[in-house]
Amino acid sequence: MSTTNLRRRLHHGDLDGRINEHVDISSADSLNEPLLGKSSDDNFGSEVYDPRRQDLWDDDRKKEQLHWSFLFSNLIAQWAQWLASIIVSSGSIFGRLFPFSSENQINPVYLSPLQEQRLNTLRCRLQIPFDGSRIEHQDALRQLWRLAYPTREIPPLKSELWKEMGWQGNDPSTDFRGGGLISLENLIFFARNYPNSFQMLLSKVQGQRADWEYPFAVAGINISFMLVQMLDLKSSVPSSKYGIRFLEFLERDENAFDHLYCVAFRLLDAQWLVKRASYMEFNEVLKSTRTQLERELVLDDVLEVKDLPSYTMLDE
């Protein structure tokens, strides 16, 4: 018994989405005998089974199956292409949906020996609370008074005169709280390195002032505390983008924190005047000062504190 050989050529024209199929069928040999002979029972007639008609019927069915299979495959391909285009054009959506994407991962921070040394020194300063019973801390307060009022006599450590500098009571030691000794050191650094700006802010001589102004010294303590939080200095290694940028500043300048403090104080006073703020709005002004500093810290061309746009407001 020989078999029927089928030769098919399937042509697909997909330029306009139409499908052209051409199927050529030919039989190489004829059957020598029928698969089924004449039936002895004439109830169903005496028609002989023709294998060529069966082949044609089978072939038509296969052609239909091929046709629908191709249509379905083409539909799947088009759907996959559509989905791929959406993924490519909206990659940022997936970045927001999946926080574990590489863009949101924080790379480990590696400190140079100089950065590590200066960061440890700064941390040691942060850990020292102000102690009014220690002589060196009392001397630091007297030094601040001498820089603020060089022609006046230094008052006792408990005196109503301290309120003129912006302390809330007659005993400045009660105002430090979480600020620590570094906040006093920041004020002294400001007075020494930028005396003109220091005196201008202390005396409140610039701009239209409110009837109820912010207290100068206490504001300085709050600025120190704000910078420690913003720069993530309480962590083992700063990991925020602002803290990482500050580490670059610190490598260039061991006094980067103190210089940044002076910029922040000058910026706070400028924000105060723009907002025409009064005492009860101090926290809002402090918050806007931090926001502006954060914007400036991440600028590409800022390599040290003196590159900050707000640094230009300081007057030595």
Per-residue H/E/C for 35-53: CCCCCCCHHHCCCCCCHHH
**Alpha-carbon distance values, 120 to 19, 80, 113, 114, 254 (Å):** 74, 55, 11, 10, 11
In a domain, 80, yes or no: no
- Provide the number of structural domains found in the chain: 1
User: Which domain, by its residues, includes 288?
Assistant: 112-314
State residue 29's pLDDT score: 40
In a domain, 51, yes or no: no
Ranges 42-46, 64-68, 196-200, 264-268: which has the least confidence? 42-46
- What pTM value is reported for the model? 0.67
In a domain, 240, yes or no: yes
List the one residue out of 156, 178, 180, 159 whose CA is nearest residue 169: 159
Judge whether residue 186 has pLDDT over 80: yes
Judge whether residue 300 has pLDDT over 60: yes
Most confident of 102-111, 170-179, 194-203: 194-203
In a domain, 30, yes or no: no
In a domain, 164, yes or no: yes
In a domain, 156, yes or no: yes
CA atoms within a 13 Å half-sphere pointing along the CA-CB vector of 286: 19
In a domain, 21, yes or no: no
Judge whether residue 272 has pLDDT over 80: yes
Percentage of the chain exceeding pLDDT 70: 66
Helix axes 113-126, 241-252, angle to 10 degrees: 110
Percentage of the chain exceeding pLDDT 90: 59
The mean of the pLDDT values for the chain is 78
State residue 154's pLDDT score: 97
Q: What does the pLDDT average to over 135-148?
A: 97
Over residues 31-49, the pLDDT tens digits come to 333 333 344 444 434 444 4
Judge whether residue 103 has pLDDT over 50: no
State residue 269's pLDDT score: 96
Instruction: Give residue 16's pLDDT band: very low, low, confident or very high (50, 70, 90).
Output: very low
- Give 22's strand partners: 9
Instruction: Give residue 178's pLDDT band: very low, low, confident or very high (50, 70, 90).
Output: confident
In a domain, 29, yes or no: no
List the one residue out of 51, 75, 64 whose CA is nearest residue 23: 64
State residue 208's pLDDT score: 84
**Alpha-carbon distance values, 264 to 31, 87, 98 (Å):** 101, 43, 36
State residue 82's pLDDT score: 59
The CA-based diameter of the chain, rounded to the nearest angstrom, is 140
Rounded Cα distance between 223 and 212, Å, is 19
Judge whether residue 67 has pLDDT over 70: no
Select the more confidently predicted residue: 184 or 92: 184
